[in-house]
Amino acid sequence: MAQERVAHIGVLAYRGAETTVEAWQPLASYLSTAVEGWRFEIVPVTLVSAPEALKSGRLEFLVTNPGHYVSLAAEFGLSPLVTREKAGGLMHFGVAIIALSGQGIATLEDLRGKTVAAVSPEAFGGFQLGWQAFMAQGIDPFTDLETIKFMGFPHDKIIEAVRRGDVDAGIIRGGLLEALAAEGRFSMDEFLVLRSNSQMGFPYLVSGELMPEWPFTVVPGVDKALRESAAIALLQTQNGDSGLHDIWSTPLSYEQVRLLIAAFDAREVTIIMWPYYLAVGAVFLLLAGFVLRRSPESLVSDEPEAPDPGAAAIMALFDRLTKREREVLALICAGKASREIAEKLGVSLKTIEYHRANLLQKTKAGTSAHLVQLATRFGYDLGETLGK
């Protein structure tokens, strides 16, 4: 009997590593049964870690949002095998720009001069689709809002920030608000989805245009038999007997996504990052009030961008963390309290507090909030799945 080989499916973990593995494991199990001689494993990735995973050859397949796919396709030669089809035959999705009810915010226009939370400038459903919705109403988020707080994954954190009143509004993937309300996390009445009449026939409240659902992509050089067997197995989910919540259809065109990304990249982008300080020998960052500007000329230049020594310094600090410290960090980033982390890992509360102190010292973060910000920004919030 031939030895079973392993194929790795990277999945963008927009709600955190644990939730991602739990949600996508049924697909891996299905493919392991349908494709003879192969076992499929889910590898949670972030916007930051996915390119590194592709460069190092750790992935055979990648499932991610369409904007991330378009951005990676040119560099890594990814090809879409199929497009996700959600319950009810939905093959498109949108963005929801949400605000708390009863706060005097009813339209996107009301957000001028306000604070809005989003995932990151690179996040398609977590910012760029929201940027498009704002621009369609004549509002430039980079100049007309008071602040954009980029909070990283998961999207749940953005909803909670709006709910606590830390920000005036948040940008999330459409449908997530309804899903969490169905789980009993909160009532839909607590929130407003701004410009929710933009897609009247769509089953979820969204604030702008609809885009094709996530593609299941293949990396160049993957064994031909594996690639074709996986594609056939995914298309056979249309038969309705796979047991999967979502099924897969022939790939849609992602040209509309490419045009949006091009429009976003072609403008002069001004991003006010969260202030933080870092000193590593002679390398330090001072980002309080720092404005990062990218002109259209620099975006189309043939010259390669110089590496950011500050980012490299931050990542070097996080790369030094032990396996246990990464586990604790992932749970901190998921919003778990020290007592919850202690119970989950089967250790004492004192041990977790010791690890927290070590994390702050090793990363030079200073505060837990700053630690989470750095971890999510640079892709170290998913535990041992990332790093070296």
Strands 291-294 and 269-272: antiparallel
Q: How many domains does the chain have?
A: 4
**pLDDT per residue as tens digits for the range 77-120:** 999 999 999 988 999 999 999 999 999 999 999 999 999 999 88
Domain assignment present for residue 290? The answer is yes
Question: Same domain, yes or no, for 71 and 22?
Answer: yes
Domain assignment present for residue 42? The answer is yes
Question: Same domain, yes or no, for 80 and 137?
Answer: no
On whether the pTM is more than 0.75, the answer is no
Question: Same domain, yes or no, for 80 and 116?
Answer: no
Question: Same domain, yes or no, for 142 and 283?
Answer: no
Domain assignment present for residue 67? The answer is yes
How buried is residue 152: exposed, middle or buried, by Cβ count under 10 Å (0-12/13-18/19+)? Answer: buried
In this predicted structure, which of 118-127, 138-147, 359-368 has the lowest mean pLDDT? 359-368
Mean pLDDT over 149-170 rounds to 92
* Confidence category of residue 268, pLDDT binned at 50, 70, 90: very low
Domain assignment present for residue 202? The answer is no
User: Residue 165, Cβ neighbours under 10 Å: how many?
Assistant: 9
Domain assignment present for residue 205? The answer is no
**pLDDT per residue as tens digits for the range 42-80:** 999 988 889 989 999 999 999 999 999 999 998 999 999
**pLDDT per residue as tens digits for the range 181-229:** 999 999 999 999 999 887 888 999 999 999 999 999 999 999 999 999 9
- State the residue range of the domain holding 173: 92-193
Domain boundary among 193, 226, 249: 193
Question: Same domain, yes or no, for 376 and 302?
Answer: no
pLDDT at 384: 52
Question: Same domain, yes or no, for 176 and 30?
Answer: no
Rounded to whole angstroms, the Cα distance separating 106 from 150 reads: 22
Domain assignment present for residue 287? The answer is yes
Question: Same domain, yes or no, for 181 and 104?
Answer: yes
Rounded to whole angstroms, the Cα distance separating 77 from 62 reads: 12
Question: Same domain, yes or no, for 55 and 96?
Answer: no
- pLDDT at position 298 over 60: no
* Confidence category of residue 2, pLDDT binned at 50, 70, 90: low
Rounded to whole angstroms, the Cα distance separating 279 from 164 reads: 32
Closest to 113 measured CA to CA, from 172, 165, 168: 168
Question: Same domain, yes or no, for 284 and 247?
Answer: no
CATH number of the domain encompassing residue 20:
3.40.190.10
**pLDDT per residue as tens digits for the range 6-36:** 999 999 988 788 889 999 999 999 999 999 9
Question: Same domain, yes or no, for 71 and 134?
Answer: no
- What share of the chain has pLDDT > 70, as a percent? 86
Question: Same domain, yes or no, for 101 and 187?
Answer: yes
Question: Same domain, yes or no, for 68 and 154?
Answer: no
**Secondary structure class of 171 (helix, strand, coil):** strand
**pLDDT per residue as tens digits for the range 330-387:** 888 877 788 888 888 988 887 888 788 788 878 887 777 678 878 877 778 776 544 3
In this predicted structure, which of 141-150, 285-294, 365-374 has the lowest mean pLDDT? 285-294
Please state, rounded to an integer, the average pLDDT across all residues of the chain. 84
Query: In terms of DSSP H, where are the helices of the chain?
Result: 17-34, 49-55, 66-76, 129-136, 141-144, 155-164, 176-182, 224-235, 255-266, 296-299, 309-319, 323-333, 338-345, 349-363, 368-377
